[in-house]
Structure 1
Amino acid sequence: MADFASSASSSCIASGSHNLDGEVFDIQTTVPSLGDGGENSVLIEVIHEVDLLQEEAEHFVQHVERQLKMLRSLIHTNIARFQEWTVNLEDKTWLRARVTYAGCEGGKVMEYLSTNANADRQRLILGISRGLSYLHSNHIVHGNLNPSNVHIGYDVGDKDPIPRINGFGFSYAIRDESVHLKVEGACFVSLRYVPPEILAGDEVPYDRRGDVWSLGCTLSQILLGRRPYEGIRNEYHLLFTVMDPYEWGSPDPFYEAFQRCLAREPSLRPSTSDVVESLELAIASGTNRKLLEVGEHNIMNEFQIGDRFKSNMGTYAAASFTDAINNFAWQNKLSIDWVFYESIGHGPVTLLWTCTCIIGGQSYVGSAFPSRKDAKNDASKMACICLGVVP
């Protein structure tokens, strides 16, 4: 209690901002972003606040200590990086706790997409799913996942956007039996992303299955560019609707990877780890389909890499695609390498390997069950198809 109170005397962040609903906001500050030492936007959010005329300070302290303990334990590339916290007494009776995150300099995900129309939405969707899966694997329920609580950051020296989840004001550890997020908590969040069992006022906690529904709404908005229940203007009408948040005119192979998140029956929703696996498979198979289409098109048009290689194109006596592409690279004096990673599974068991064949500076992706050797041959096959190499 003493340590907590002494920290509350630090200077007020964003003094005068009456953020009564826990909404996230951005400010400019001189707090350096981790890794670059420069002056960047950091993310500030209110994680808890009370009116001391209605609630005792002791309850406030217990709640904030619980949230801070949780935030300090979160280390994942798709989770906003906790940096510091403050507690301030404002307007004489309002006690507010705020936290600061680094690594969110790209702004909210939908704002980022509005100025980066060609961004890889599938990779953003996969990153968000991995972040939520990480929380669930650590027995943490987010409780308020929506696009406003996903910000874009960047790793040092890397220009690729990384989605990072924030907005932990309603989050709780499942092991903590003193926390129960029911429908009362939903009045402070956007109802568009709240699962139907909570909107219905059923006496059920907002658990991991509720998070999965919110994930489905969030991912769908990122993929389609429109909010859930787009035809409903007044969010409070959602309390009385039985319509689905999205209507799809035609099946979308990538959407199918996470559409079960929006099952109205909670028990039918997949786990977040299942969602991640399905998305990884969808991305891998989609990449292979595109490469195959390109390869077939190039072969039909007698694709040639260049005059330098014309005399060496054709049939290569080989027992496998890997041998064939190796022979091709050797005869044409091209560098060749393979990079492997586990698409599904970790540790001693790997369900799916993905391999990238890098030849002459160009990359060709393959994947296979269940061995690295098969994935290597599949990547070599894609390279052979695209380069017109016949084993």
Structure 2
Amino acid sequence: MSIQSNVLGPFPSHTGSDPFGSLKHFEVLKTLGRGHFSVVYSARNRFNGVCVALKKVELSRMADAKAIEDCKREISLLQQLDHPNVIKYISHFVDENDLYIVLELASAGDLAKMIKHFTRTNKLMPEKTIWKFFSQICSGLEHMHSKRIMHRDIKPANIFVSGEGIVRLGDLGLGRFFGSKTTSAHSMVGTPYYMSPERIHEHDLGYDFRSDIWSLGCILYEMAALRSPFYGENLNLILLRQKIEALDYTPLPTNFYSSELRLLVSKCLVLDPEQRPDINEVNRIAQMMYTRFLTPANNTPTPTSSSSSSSRNDSASGNLTPVNNR
């Protein structure tokens, strides 16, 4: 069986009429990133001048069927999704035994790059900026969950930003489709710092969509603190697991960020997944808070926002006060 038929299975390559359906149709510009079996390039289409992200998957280096299934899964998931805050699938094809997935290009990099910028400049991210980005992340994830798709690897490096400031969730190679009768998954995948306790636990407890909510809490915290809540020097998986299961993270400063932001982090970072809000609730809060920062004149204090008026800063970043490691 050829690599193309083995890998693509029910997802046949596009025909020659597709302007994105062949490597010769692209001018490769530069390397954007690398994975275990993949390289992502920025490329320009020779027919229409459109710049895209071209993900090259080196099939010949894949020694097991599971890795190939991950390729098929990513294509399948991308084809199901259509939302401004999710990286758009354009096409795919096979060239010299390598699979190429053509994706929408987010030219401004990713959230990890933005967090590093604030760290280098010794500034905290303004809360208005946090809600602007976080509300878009939540919108994209709400769309995914509505399609019964769990991301499973939400982290700053997988949250991309366009030149217009639009945030898009990407890298769905670890995504998992849940049929209507499926309630949980059992595989250990993802990035440990953003893994929920039920996923990083040494026992196979299973997990569901609320595992993504834990990861959202980690992202929201990191945008405010400029580091993962459970980051530590020289942590192995056992020590990280203990840190996560003890909820051992330093609270966010009360003198710069609103009580609503801090409360949402604490709601997401709950050990019992049943006690976490679902994506609809998290997205509702995120949209409400971003709207509030857009219209400060209409801001009405709530019982939970006693510290908000003194902590908000719409026009500039505050000086960075490092969150100490514990």
Normalising by structure 1, we get a TM-score of 0.58
Q: 1:74/1:38 Cα in 2 relative to 1: closer, same or farther (>3 Å)?
A: same
Identify which of 247, 251, 274 aligns with 1:248: 251
- Tell which structure's C-alpha radius of gyration is larger: 1
Corresponding residue number in structure 2 for 1:309: none
Corresponding residue number in structure 2 for 1:28: 42
Normalising by structure 2, we get a TM-score of 0.68
Q: Which amino acid aligns with 2:148?
A: H
Please tell me whether residue 131 in structure 1 is matched to residue 140 in structure 2: yes
Q: 1:260/1:366 Cα in 2 relative to 1: closer, same or farther (>3 Å)?
A: closer
Deviation sequence 1:205-255 (CA, Å, 0-9, x none):
342011111111112212322123233433523134334363215453241
Provide structure 2 residue ranges, at least 5 long, that are not aligned to the other structure.
15-20, 119-124, 301-326
Q: Which protein has greater RCO, CA pairs closer than 8 Å, 6+ apart?
A: 2
Identify which of 268, 276, 290 aligns with 1:269: 276
Residue pair 1:40, 1:105 contacting (<8 A) in 2 also: no
SS at match of 2:179: coil
Identify which of 94, 104, 107 aligns with 1:105: 107
Deviation sequence 1:119-165 (CA, Å, 0-9, x none):
822110110011111111111111111111000014xxxx4x11100
> What percentage of aligned pairs have identical amino acids?
18
Q: Which amino acid aligns with 2:88?
A: R
More divergent stretch after superposition (171-180 vs 141-150):
171-180
1:1-391 aligned at under 5 Å gives the runs 1=5, 4=8, 7=13, 11=23, 21=36, 26-31=40-45, 38=49, 40=51, 42=53, 44=55, 46=57, 51-52=62-63, 54-55=64-65, 64-87=71-94, 97-115=99-117, 120-154=129-163, 159=164, 161-175=165-179, 181-184=185-188, 186=189, 189-236=190-237, 237-241=239-243, 242-244=245-247, 246-251=249-254, 252-255=258-261, 256-286=263-293, 290-291=296-297
Q: What is the CA distance between 1:287 and its match in structure 2?
A: 5.0
Residue pair 1:67, 1:172 contacting (<8 A) in 2 also: no
* Partner Cα distance (1:179, 1:29) in 2: 39
Provide structure 1 residue ranges, at least 5 long, that are not aligned to the other structure.
91-95, 292-364, 368-391
Q: 1:244/1:3 Cα in 2 relative to 1: closer, same or farther (>3 Å)?
A: closer
Residue pair 1:229, 1:245 contacting (<8 A) in 2 also: yes
Alpha-carbon RMSD across the aligned residues, in angstroms, is: 4.0
Q: 1:133/1:209 Cα in 2 relative to 1: closer, same or farther (>3 Å)?
A: same
Greater strand fraction, Structure 1 or Structure 2: 1
